[in-house]
Amino acid sequence: MEESSEEAGQAQTVRYELSLSALEARQGTKKLLPRKGKSLEVSIPAGVRSGSTVKLRNALQSTDDRPGDILIEIRVTGAQEESLPGVVEVTDQSFEEQVVKSGLPVLVDFWAPWCGPCRMIAPITEKLAQEYAGRLKFCKLNVDDNPQMAARHQVMSIPQILFFRNGTVVEQSTGAVPESALRAAVESVLRQG
């Protein structure tokens, strides 16, 4: 892991880069982050991609005795990760380009790392992303790190899955629904086209 830092007022943000295997990225993993003689356990959610960021809110309080966050940028090693279709992580900044302007219908999973039901749904969306590659685009948006899009789409509880066609919501699902229900919603959206 490589470290860099930046200060904003009295709070500091420390950035690390973490390399994962393609398997760890797909399935999720736990890693220990050593800092100042202490170790923080970091939970990496299933389905992370290269360039994703995991944020440890106010983690510097436990390692440095001062306020500040730790941001961990994920790097996935191995060509296998890039060659497989999967779930694309979107942000407030990339939402317009990745979702609204997409030529394909898009499923967006609004989630958070601390949400148990969100972690239950992640392997299902990964599996469906493989099966429906080229017909439906699969994205996920971390609501903690990207509050603007969550607010714009009135996401009040997670996991919330919204289906977009030409930038408009055409179907939605809330909660940890079974694979069969999510598959039925995907099929319904594809039939609408």
Residue 55's contacts (CB-CB under 8 Å, 6 or more residues apart) are 69, 70, 71, 72, 144, 145
DSSP string, 10-35: TEEEEEEEEEEEHHHHHH-EEEEEEE
**What sign does the dihedral 11-39-91-83 (CA atoms) show?**
positive
Q: What superfamily would CATH give domain 85-192? A: Glutaredoxin (3.40.30.10)
Q: Report, in angstroms and rounded to the nearest whole number, the Rg of the chain calculated over CA atoms.
A: 17
How much is the pLDDT for 185? 95
DSSP string, 60-98: HHHHHSS-EEEEEEEEEESHHHHHS--EEEE-TTTHIII
The pLDDT of residue 187 is above 50? yes
What residue segments make up the domains of the chain, in order of their start?
Answer: 2-80, 85-192
pLDDT (mean) for 121-130? 92
Cis peptide before 85 (omega within 30 of 0): no
Average the pLDDT over each of 14-28, 51-65, 79-93, 165-179 and give the range with the smallest value. 79-93
The pLDDT of residue 171 is above 80? yes
Question: Does this model's pTM top 0.85?
Answer: no
Q: What superfamily would CATH give domain 2-80? A: Urease metallochaperone UreE, N-terminal domain (2.60.260.20)
Give per-residue pLDDT as tens, 131-152: 898 899 999 999 999 999 999 9
How much is the pLDDT for 25? 77
Strand 29-35 to strand 38-44: parallel, antiparallel, or no bridges (unpaired)?
antiparallel
CA–CA separation, 57 vs 40, rounded Å? Answer: 12
How much is the pLDDT for 80? 42
Give per-residue pLDDT as tens, 69-118: 998 888 887 644 343 468 999 999 999 999 999 989 999 999 999 999 99
Q: Given pLDDT bands bounded at 50, 70 and 90, which one contains residue 40?
A: confident
Mean per-residue pLDDT over the chain, rounded:
86
167 SS3 class: coil
Q: Which residues are catalytic?
A: 115, 118
